[in-house]
Amino acid sequence: MNSVIRLLLVDDHAIMREALRDSLLREPDIQVVGEAGDGDAALRLAREHSPDVVVTDISMPGLDGFELTRLITRDFERVAVLALSTHLERSFIQRMLDAGALGYVNKSAGRTELLQGIRSVALGRRYLCQECAGMLAKTAADGDHPRLGQREIEVLKMIAMGHSSAEIGKQLFIATGTAEVHRRNILRKLELHDVAGLTRYAIREGLISLSDL
């Protein structure tokens, strides 16, 4: 990533885009290279300007934020997506993270949190504003997420980082067969089916970052 973060703003409300742009102009390490009012325009501008970060709303005409994020993360390997939305429902947050967004900031959050989010995802780190993190933590505590043991979390992180069961066993001083059992249990608990799914989960939950891959 360059020392200056090249940023693309995507929001169907022109007043919101203008307010965000004017606020970000004060930051010496952030350069707004383009603005779009819908997902289709955002894709064209992403190809034209090669931004480091795309800050996008979710509810937009035509291509919405979910699909835009999926296409951006599929077609532009080094572009990070930060959702900026009024939606605080867990389903919206989860869907954006599942689509490939590295961060999520509610529009009611302060400017400081938005800037933290932009700078974090630009470095390949996951970021959730306080309200969003609190929402996910609450639903997890209420039983929305299965609980993994500490050893299972260690194994999950190593699987997501590309280690084989033999390598995991060697590094954690457990038998290869035991590592395989942990792998099967993790997949069962998380209702996932492959390493790609485990990797997405580990990134989404902040267990690893893109720089670990």
Q: If you write DSSP's letter for every residue of 184-201 in order, what string do you get?
A: HHHHHHHT--SHHHHHHH
CATH number at 150-212: 1.10.10.10
pLDDT in tens, 14-41: 999 999 999 999 999 999 999 999 999 9
**pLDDT at residue 131 in the model:** 85
Check residue 183 and give its pLDDT: 93
N-to-C CA span, the chain: 16
The predicted pLDDT at position 144 comes to: 47
Domain boundaries, the chain: 5-140, 150-212
At 190 the pLDDT is: 87
Q: CB atoms < 10 A from the CB of 22, how many?
A: 10
| Amino acid letter, residue 37 | G
Which residue numbers in the chain have pLDDT < 50? Answer: 141, 143-145
CA 33-210-112 angle, 5° bins: 50
User: Using CB atoms within 10 A of its CB, is residue 126 exposed (0-12), middle (13-18) or buried (19+)?
Assistant: buried
What topology is assigned to 5-140 in CATH? Rossmann fold (3.40.50)
Q: How far apart are CA 14 and CA 18, in angstroms?
A: 6
